Structure 1
Amino acid sequence: MRDEERSGERGLDVLVWVKATEPDQIITTYAETAERLQLPGSTSDDSGSVAEAFMAWLAATKRRWLVVLDDITDPATADKWWPDGNAHNGRVLATTRRDDAVLSGKGRTPIPLDLYTAEEARAFLHRRLTDAGHPRLYDTDAVDPLIKELGRLPLALGHAAAYMINKRCTTSDYLARFRDTDIGLSNLLPPDADTEGYGRPVATALLISLTAVQAVDATQLARPLLEFISLTAPQGHPAQLWSTPPALQYLRTSRPGHRRWLRRHQPVVTAQQVQDALNCLRTYALVTQDTSDAPIRIHALTARAVRETIPARTKPTIARVMADALQRLWPDLDHQDRELAASLRMNTLHLDEHTFPALWQPDVHACIYQVSDSLTAVGLLDQAVDYDRVAVQQSTELHGPEDPDTLTARSNLAVSYRVAGRRQEAL
């Protein structure tokens, strides 16, 4: 929530910007806002109840407010936490890639923002190349065919523009490279794996950029780093993840083009080398980072294209290493660093989704249980119960009902029930 004085300059008394990818992010932000507004009951340990109190306050207050729900991924879940705006005092602005029916009900007005038009795509390329000081790279004759090949996708156009600027490559030359690369793409992204029609232009642009990155990446860490990052949440992950010992150790032995017997003798990877590799990826717009301390983000389509290139035999290893790295960053007291804890939970869930059952076999990784503990610690009690129910089911299916991991999951569920005040279910 921004300060009243600052938001008041925009005609508002209260402005709340919520990362709405996961419901616990919404609940946590609402609870923190209630505490900042010193609403009755805002000091409760039950974040869900405090968040509900904040929503009730929004519905009754005469103060002017705006709530921004940014990047909703599950409209049905977010619907519960969608405040009731009214014509006089409040408004809700939501962004999402989804088009579920629930988004257009209850007086909500969808405003679709689709692909660039051809005119917008031309303007984007011209402005991007001109602003970088290279207007001559804009070859008018090749622009329209290139835009068509890129599907007018903003992401693919962004990758292409970054490549052209870095390589001093004209739109004609890039079009030729794109068509040559696309011919051999079927092994990477079969047509039946791209039912939305988005992945192919992005994957082709990605391969072109990756080739350029690997040519200038003296550390040889950019490619393995990008594979790691493709398994993180697109909304961002902590930059310090790649300076943890598990990540550095794996990167030391994961450089491409080295025989296994030589990899054991590779020198230690330094934090500076990791930064240099990340700089290469940022230069070609494969990842973004606002400041050196800000979260690192990767677009969901770029991440999907990269995941398609990870050999199936190595993905479980990468998953376990990344889980080790996430575990190293987890704060001792989640409620004292809610933002970090929320990011780690989100990235653990995302990692598990894209590598399942790697974090469950041969045994359950500790970060799976850490999510349960974290949800309870920050007062997301209903979410903890729901999470533990799924954990019990998955562990039972994978390991059996009497396995120690299943018993641990059941114990966590009992604790979550008890903390939520559902003692009979806990018993």
Structure 2
Amino acid sequence: MDHLTITQAVSQGPVQWPLHLGSVPALASAFQQRLDVRNAIDQAAAGHTAVVLTQVLSGGGGVGKTQLASAYAHQAVAEGVDLVVWVDASETDQVIARYAVAAHIVDAPNALAGQTGEKDARAFLQWLATTKRSWLVILDDITDPDTMQPWWPPSSAWGCGRVVATTRRQDAALSGGGRAVVDVDTYSAHEADTYLRARLRSARAEHLLDAQTEPLAEALGYLPLALSHAAAYMINEDVPCTDYLHRFNSSAANLDDLLPRHADTEGYGRHVAAALLLSLDVAQTCEPVGLAIPALRLAAVLDPAGHPRDLWRVEAVINYLTAHRVPIPSPHSPAPVSSTQAKAALRLLHRYGLLTDDAQAGFRAVKLHALTARAVREHTPSGEQREIVRTAAEALTELWHKGVEKAVLHTNVDSLDGFAGDLLWEVEGHHLLRWVGRSLTARGLATAAVPYWQRVSDTSERVLGRTDRKTVMARRELAVAYLNAGRSKDAFAVFQEDYAYEAEALADASLQARQAPDSKRDFHRRQSTEGLLALLEDTLAVRERILGPTDPTTLSCRIKLSIAYWEAGQQPQAVSMLKLVLKHQNEELGVHHPDSMATALRLDHVRGERKERWWKRSAGSWRRS
């Protein structure tokens, strides 16, 4: 407020009660009462002088905090509360200015013409503390809890005053001074569905309701702001829920088109994506400076339902944050980001309501709203996406080796795959897809494993080619999935089609495992070796199921696998494999058959026994081996 407004307040004459100061937002069409949340607010207010509404599932806004505060303001007006003050608290200067004007309007004793706004504001706070008149002050959208500390309305000496505040911040300062914090989540599934139906009916657009109304609400994450914009879009364009859901799920669509600014018919005042990311620029300038944006971009490609905190200690993540920190604190080469700073970046995003960091949630400690994640991805420069995908893939790989709960890793891999597409293959991250698929197979989920491996093998063939060993490996997995699903004919068809490519693929895998360079390539060498072992294991599984355990082709594959085990340092597995081969050969061919004796020599060599012992028994067989 400027000085002219204060002058007008001074000259307005005797106070006319009740007073309503500030512009209270109108309630949205089909406003949901949200009785559970309002009961929580009422209970908090019973023992506290102020109630602060924040969000339980952080997403930058849009959960309906302002609408709930507005409902309390309208209720206070209807009940005849003497003074209702609505304050835009996004800037502390605005709060002070509003208080200063209010001091003159209510004729506060210490409000004097010509003195500073801060003195008038303090006079208003003193009046609130001592007046016997009933009052309600709404502080909407507090963005800086620290600077707000001196300007919180005080406790009423007569118990007739109340404060309701809204904020997207998660800050300890909000709960001090007798204030209670109430978390406001998105709509429940029932509330979201009820809102959509009521909103469309109120616009005489019932024909847009169909069987996909509930799935649409779920796809929008039950976010009130998004539901409002989506409903307006459907009404304006005469698009039913099914068609809108199809457009929303299309990879080519973006939030700016699906939830456009002109769809803000309820007067929220913000585009959805802008509302979700409103705090990001501010967070980027806070300590640790320059990490908020890269950290949020990385989190946005993972599962919105949550990923482990440990991911932010992984070396690949630390290196990514170091490389993408903007602005760089030092004009010279950037200092490495520490794991402590990475954790601080998470807490920073948490405080600004951009994601939730909750240690009590275990392996799903870090989560963010799905629409926030989508908004972040859509605003990520295409040139940075490859490095983000690579970082996420390497981080999830390390967590997989550390034994993090597989169900959590599965959903995070699925989210990464959904965003990355072919990029995941280009950065050598598709081994994660194989791990997820093999996990499905191991758990006996054949119904899910078959279509999963069909998709993976088709993608591998398209991206890498039909003869690539990774494609052959994926098709081996598909054959195993077919067998587990009782589809032996389909498995045999895959086996027949791939037989011609098998030797070439195995040779290529073996060569890569042997020739992978040292130094900083340990990870890739390990992946090559694991790829060879996996391909041999899968090939053996298919041959045993289709050709039988004693078929020469099966035994030949088992010998190759034993050699691969031995070269990978897995001696017990190599010994076990060769023992089984020798058993079958002795039974089928006899102990003196050249093949049996060659296998016996290999087994002796793997065990580390003296070669001379077997050389004396069969020099010819040793040369043959």
> Structure 1 length normalisation: TM-score?
0.54
Residues 163 and 422 of structure 1, relative CA distance in 2, 3 Å threshold: farther
Q: Please report how far the alpha carbon of residue 363 of structure 1 lies from its aligned counterpart in structure 2 after TM superposition.
A: 5.0
> Which of 276, 286, 290 is the aligned partner of 2:344?
276
- Say yes or no: does 1:163 pair with 2:163: no
Match of 1:102 in 2: none
Match of 2:319 in 1: 249
Q: Describe the SS at the equivalent of 2:413.
A: helix
> Which of 350, 373, 376 is the aligned partner of 1:306?
376
What is the CA–CA distance in structure 1 between the aligned matches of 2:308 and 2:478, rounded to whole Å? 28
> Which of 307, 319, 328 is the aligned partner of 1:237?
307
State whether residues 355 and 369 of structure 2, in contact with CA within 8 Å, keep that contact through their aligned partners in structure 1: yes
What is the CA–CA distance in structure 1 between the aligned matches of 2:428 and 2:256, rounded to whole Å? 35
What is the CA–CA distance in structure 1 between the aligned matches of 2:65 and 2:322, rounded to whole Å? 44
Residues 210 and 383 of structure 1, relative CA distance in 2, 3 Å threshold: same
State whether residues 162 and 285 of structure 1, in contact with CA within 8 Å, keep that contact through their aligned partners in structure 2: no
- Say yes or no: does 1:373 pair with 2:441: no
What is the CA–CA distance in structure 1 between the aligned matches of 2:258 and 2:330, rounded to whole Å? 32
- Say yes or no: does 1:397 pair with 2:434: no
Question: What are the Cα deviations for residues 65-108 of structure 1, in whole angstroms up to 9, with x where unaligned?
Answer: xxxxxxxxxxxxxxxxxxxxxxxxxxxxxxxxxxxxxxxxxxxx
Q: Which of structures 1 and 2 has the larger relative contact order (alpha carbons within 8 angstroms, sep 6+)?
A: 1
Match of 1:139 in 2: 87
Question: What are the Cα deviations for residues 329-380 of structure 1, in whole angstroms up to 9, with x where unaligned?
Answer: 11577xxx6xx21111111111111121111226563112111122223332
State whether residues 364 and 405 of structure 1, in contact with CA within 8 Å, keep that contact through their aligned partners in structure 2: no
Q: Describe the SS at the equivalent of 1:310.
A: coil
Residues 360 and 330 of structure 1, relative CA distance in 2, 3 Å threshold: same
- Say yes or no: does 1:194 pair with 2:259: yes
Q: Please report how far the alpha carbon of residue 250 of structure 1 lies from its aligned counterpart in structure 2 after TM superposition.
A: 1.4
- Say yes or no: does 1:351 pair with 2:416: yes
What is the CA–CA distance in structure 2 between the aligned matches of 1:357 and 1:319, rounded to whole Å? 10
Q: Which amino acid aligns with 2:430?
A: H
Match of 1:383 in 2: 448
Question: What are the Cα deviations for residues 227-260 of structure 1, in whole angstroms up to 9, with x where unaligned?
Answer: 0011111111111111112111211211012499
Match of 2:488 in 1: 423
Runs of 5+ unmatched residues, structure 1 = 1-113, 127-135, 143-159, 175-188
Q: Which amino acid aligns with 2:476?
A: S
State whether residues 137 and 164 of structure 1, in contact with CA within 8 Å, keep that contact through their aligned partners in structure 2: no
Q: Describe the SS at the equivalent of 1:139.
A: strand
Question: What are the Cα deviations for residues 254-303 of structure 1, in whole angstroms up to 9, with x where unaligned?
Answer: 101249995xx333322211111111111111111332663211001111
Q: Which has the larger radius of gyration?
A: 2
Residues 272 and 139 of structure 1, relative CA distance in 2, 3 Å threshold: same
State whether residues 394 and 429 of structure 2, in contact with CA within 8 Å, keep that contact through their aligned partners in structure 1: no
State whether residues 232 and 350 of structure 1, in contact with CA within 8 Å, keep that contact through their aligned partners in structure 2: yes
> Which of 99, 120, 125 is the aligned partner of 2:68?
120
> Which of 191, 194, 204 is the aligned partner of 2:274?
204
State whether residues 277 and 372 of structure 2, in contact with CA within 8 Å, keep that contact through their aligned partners in structure 1: no
State whether residues 88 and 141 of structure 2, in contact with CA within 8 Å, keep that contact through their aligned partners in structure 1: no
What is the CA–CA distance in structure 2 between the aligned matches of 1:385 and 1:308, rounded to whole Å? 32
Q: Please report how far the alpha carbon of residue 215 of structure 1 lies from its aligned counterpart in structure 2 after TM superposition.
A: 2.2
Q: Please report how far the alpha carbon of residue 306 of structure 1 lies from its aligned counterpart in structure 2 after TM superposition.
A: 1.1
Correspondence 1:28-43 to 2 at 5 A: none
What is the CA–CA distance in structure 1 between the aligned matches of 2:320 and 2:381, rounded to whole Å? 16
State whether residues 210 and 223 of structure 1, in contact with CA within 8 Å, keep that contact through their aligned partners in structure 2: yes
- Say yes or no: does 1:225 pair with 2:295: yes
What is the CA–CA distance in structure 1 between the aligned matches of 2:85 and 2:358, rounded to whole Å? 27
Residues 125 and 398 of structure 1, relative CA distance in 2, 3 Å threshold: farther
| Alpha-carbon RMSD | 3.9
State whether residues 302 and 412 of structure 2, in contact with CA within 8 Å, keep that contact through their aligned partners in structure 1: yes
Residues 365 and 275 of structure 1, relative CA distance in 2, 3 Å threshold: same
State whether residues 89 and 141 of structure 2, in contact with CA within 8 Å, keep that contact through their aligned partners in structure 1: no
Match of 1:319 in 2: 389
What is the CA–CA distance in structure 1 between the aligned matches of 2:400 and 2:294, rounded to whole Å? 23
State whether residues 233 and 346 of structure 1, in contact with CA within 8 Å, keep that contact through their aligned partners in structure 2: yes
- Between the aligned residues of both structures, percent identity stands at 32
Residues 305 and 165 of structure 1, relative CA distance in 2, 3 Å threshold: farther
Q: Please report how far the alpha carbon of residue 141 of structure 1 lies from its aligned counterpart in structure 2 after TM superposition.
A: 11
Residues 124 and 412 of structure 1, relative CA distance in 2, 3 Å threshold: farther
Match of 1:62 in 2: none
State whether residues 356 and 368 of structure 2, in contact with CA within 8 Å, keep that contact through their aligned partners in structure 1: yes
Residues 260 and 354 of structure 1, relative CA distance in 2, 3 Å threshold: farther
Q: Please report how far the alpha carbon of residue 321 of structure 1 lies from its aligned counterpart in structure 2 after TM superposition.
A: 1.2
What is the CA–CA distance in structure 2 between the aligned matches of 1:261 and 1:252, rounded to whole Å? 14
Q: Which amino acid aligns with 1:256?
A: V
Q: Please report how far the alpha carbon of residue 121 of structure 1 lies from its aligned counterpart in structure 2 after TM superposition.
A: 5.0
Q: Number of residue pairs matched? A: 266
What is the CA–CA distance in structure 2 between the aligned matches of 1:124 and 1:306, rounded to whole Å? 33
> Which of 297, 314, 334 is the aligned partner of 1:266?
334
Higher mean displacement: 198-207 or 227-236: 198-207
- Say yes or no: does 1:286 pair with 2:346: no
Residues 353 and 232 of structure 1, relative CA distance in 2, 3 Å threshold: same
Q: Which amino acid aligns with 1:422?
A: R
What is the CA–CA distance in structure 2 between the aligned matches of 1:302 and 1:125, rounded to whole Å? 29
What is the CA–CA distance in structure 2 between the aligned matches of 1:256 and 1:125, rounded to whole Å? 42
> Structure 2 length normalisation: TM-score?
0.38
What is the CA–CA distance in structure 1 between the aligned matches of 2:316 and 2:406, rounded to whole Å? 19
Q: Describe the SS at the equivalent of 2:279.
A: helix
Match of 2:122 in 1: none
Q: Please report how far the alpha carbon of residue 406 of structure 1 lies from its aligned counterpart in structure 2 after TM superposition.
A: 1.7
State whether residues 166 and 284 of structure 1, in contact with CA within 8 Å, keep that contact through their aligned partners in structure 2: no
State whether residues 390 and 429 of structure 2, in contact with CA within 8 Å, keep that contact through their aligned partners in structure 1: no
Runs of 5+ unmatched residues, structure 2 = 1-61, 75-83, 91-139, 152-163, 168-253, 493-625
Residues 261 and 345 of structure 1, relative CA distance in 2, 3 Å threshold: farther
State whether residues 290 and 328 of structure 2, in contact with CA within 8 Å, keep that contact through their aligned partners in structure 1: no
State whether residues 137 and 168 of structure 1, in contact with CA within 8 Å, keep that contact through their aligned partners in structure 2: no
Higher mean displacement: 395-404 or 276-285: 395-404
Residues 258 and 116 of structure 1, relative CA distance in 2, 3 Å threshold: closer
Q: Which amino acid aligns with 1:319?
A: V
Match of 2:425 in 1: 360
Residues 400 and 165 of structure 1, relative CA distance in 2, 3 Å threshold: same
Residues 359 and 332 of structure 1, relative CA distance in 2, 3 Å threshold: same
